[in-house]
Structures are given as structure tokens and as C-alpha cells.
Chain A
Amino acid sequence: MSFINYSSREINCKIVYYGPGLCGKTTNLNYVYQKTNPDNRGKMISLATETERTLFFDFLPLALGSIRGFKVRFHLYTVPGQVFYDASRKLILRGADGVVFVADSQVDRLEANVESLENLRQNLAEHGSDLDKIPFNIQYNKRDLPDIASVEEMNGLLNPRGVPVVEACAHTGEGVFDTLKDIAKQVIMELKKKENT
């Protein structure tokens, strides 16, 4: 849920990166962290296991600039992708203004993508949110690897609603900022919609 501080004239929004284990959620945040001017970002926090798998979440606060006198900040979170961390995923999803689903393009991960997307839908529903109604996009990651599914095939499985899709290779950074920019735009336009209703 976005938060407006009228005293400091700041707007904070929460974006959650979701997806199956090892799909590249943390890699997305690492790239954003590395490529953002240190003045515009806070400390990146990663709560990970000894083997660098996300245990609870990663957190990166970003200050993007001002819109009409209000400083706009985004708090980016990732969830742990491994199936048995579902309780943690539910906690982190709470209050999300927008969700990025990072899908692993490798053919042998298609089923994991479908399961994770269904899990996202269920967990949002438990918070009273509907995946079909919130700002949402999908990143098809790992497009540089061999043995990947076509965009058409992935759209058929993961994107019947036709939400914005970004092809990416998060470890080189390709598509990372396009994904972030798209979800940020959707989140802000959603706030505008609410303001006008």
C-alpha cells in the first residue's frame, strides 16, 4: 500500500518481485543496486542462506526523483522462491502496490513458473487482492540461455490476460530497468486512477 507523508512531501510505494526459485529475482535487484547512483538508493539488504539462496527477502529502497513537488520512493522486495518458504512469501506480499513476476525461460522450468504464478494468485487472494486487478508485469528472464521456450509459448502458459512482458537477461542487466520502469509507471497510474475516483 502506497504511503504519503504530507510533512516531508514523500510518496513511498512497494513493489514485490515474485517467481520460482533461481529465476533471477535477487539478480534483478542486484543490478538495479549496482547501476543506481548511490545518492538515489539506500542500503540493499539480503536475508539469505549460507548458499546465497533468499531466506526471507531482499530489500532495496530507491529514490527516483520528484513528481510535482513530491519525492517518489520505491521499496523493492523479492520473495524467497523455494516452495517451502510460502509463509514468508505471504508476509512480504502484504501491502504490495505492484508485482513483477520473474519467469525462468528455460523449458524445464515452465512447470515451476506455472506453479509459482498460481501460488502468487492464491497468496494475493489471502490478502484480499486480485492478481487481475493490481499493477502487474512479467519478465521472461534468461533469454540468453539455450533450450528456452518461445515468448508465444510462455504467454500461452503465463499470460492469458496480456499484461506487459519484458524479455530479459538479468545478469547482464538487459530488460531489468525496462521491467522496473513499466511496473513503476503502472503503480503510479493506478494511484492516479484511485485519486480520480
Chain B
Amino acid sequence: MGSQNFITAQVLERVEEELRGFRQAAKARVAFLIDGNGQLLGQAGDATKVDTTAIAALTASNMAASKAIAELVGEEKFGGVLHEGEDEHLHLSVVGGIAILVVLFDAETSIGLVRLRVKNTTKNLEALLIQGAEEGVSEEEDLSPFAEITEDDIDQLFL
């Protein structure tokens, strides 16, 4: 799976708007989008009780392992992965080979509804990410600190 190495405020806004719409339609608790390396791209819903950094790292590895297993049995990929718990369930789906949509849901909804809504949303998210990559980073926003960075700046990080 590929991944992109930045997200701008504008793209994040569009991604989170799509995620909010999805979450309502699917009646899911939390929905978030991560890249193939486990970086969180955006989220919708109350994620205060969820360690999104850890879930992002684990789900990205999980999906990478699923893809490797799929290839071993002659499939290009497995479409979606469902982890079913007592009360909480997690559905993972690939977003056009660019990212992963992670959906946390409970008894308020059903796996059928989640899967139905995931189909459209993954297509929309893919289009948004591709559009964002094409737009790139505007000059006003591109205030990357790297160009002027010094070794002293880095040493400060470890004090």
C-alpha cells in the first residue's frame, strides 16, 4: 500500500467532513482514516477513550499482514477485515491502496449497514486524497521547519 507524506488543513477538512457524514449514516461510534504507515489522517466521532495513535499503528500493520497473507493464497488483497467483539467491533477497509478506513461500531448499528456505507465512503475518500495530493501544499502553508533547521534545534528536543 502506498501512502502520502503530508496532509494540508484544507484536505483534512474535506476528509473529516466525509468521515462525519459516513459516521452518521452508518451509525458508527468512531471513524478514522490512517495511511499505510499507520499515521492518522483524520477522524470523526468521540475518540477520547480510544488510543488512536496505537490503533493506527496496529491496524496499518494488521492490514499489511492481511495483504501479505492474501498474496500467499493467490489473492491481490482482502477487501475488508472485521474484528468482532462482545460489544465493540472494528471494520477495516482499504481506501484505493492509499489509506485505510477504520470504523469502530457497536450494537447501535449492524455490520451490513457499515459495509454498505463503507463502499461509497472509501471511493469518496480516495478521490479526496488524490485531489489533495495533486493540489500539493500552498506557499502560505508550506512553513516546513526543515529548511532552516540547525543541529542546536535538534539538541533542544532531547533536553
Contact = CB atoms under 8 A, between A and B. Distances in A.
Given A3-B39, A11-B145, A67-B153, 14 more contacts: A3-B35, A6-B7, A7-B8, A7-B9, A7-B13, A43-B51, A67-B145, A67-B149, A67-B154, A91-B61, A92-B61, A188-B154, A192-B147, A196-B146
Interface string A1-32: 11111110001101000000000000000000
A104 B12 CA distance: 44
Given A42-B51, A184-B154, A68 B9 contact: no
Interface residues of A, number: 42
A45 to B, nearest CB: 6
Interface in A147-179: 177
For chain B, the bracket of interface size reads: 35 or more
A184 B149 CA distance: 13
Contacts of B5: 1-4
Contact of B57 (A1, A45, A194): A45
Interface in A60-113: 61, 64-65, 67-70, 72, 75, 87-88, 91-92, 94-95
B57 A75 contact: yes
B78 interface: no
A195 B145 CA distance: 9
B143 A188 contact: no
B59 to A, nearest CB: 12
23 contacts: A1-B3, A1-B37, A2-B5, A4-B144, A5-B6, A5-B7, A5-B12, A6-B8, A11-B145, A43-B51, A56-B61, A61-B57, A64-B158, A67-B157, A91-B65, A91-B68, A94-B36, A95-B3, A95-B37, A177-B158, A184-B157, A188-B149, A195-B144
A69 B37 contact: no
A42 B157 contact: no
B154 A185 contact: yes
Given A3-B39, A45-B54, A195-B144, A64 B3 contact: no
A184 B157 CA distance: 10
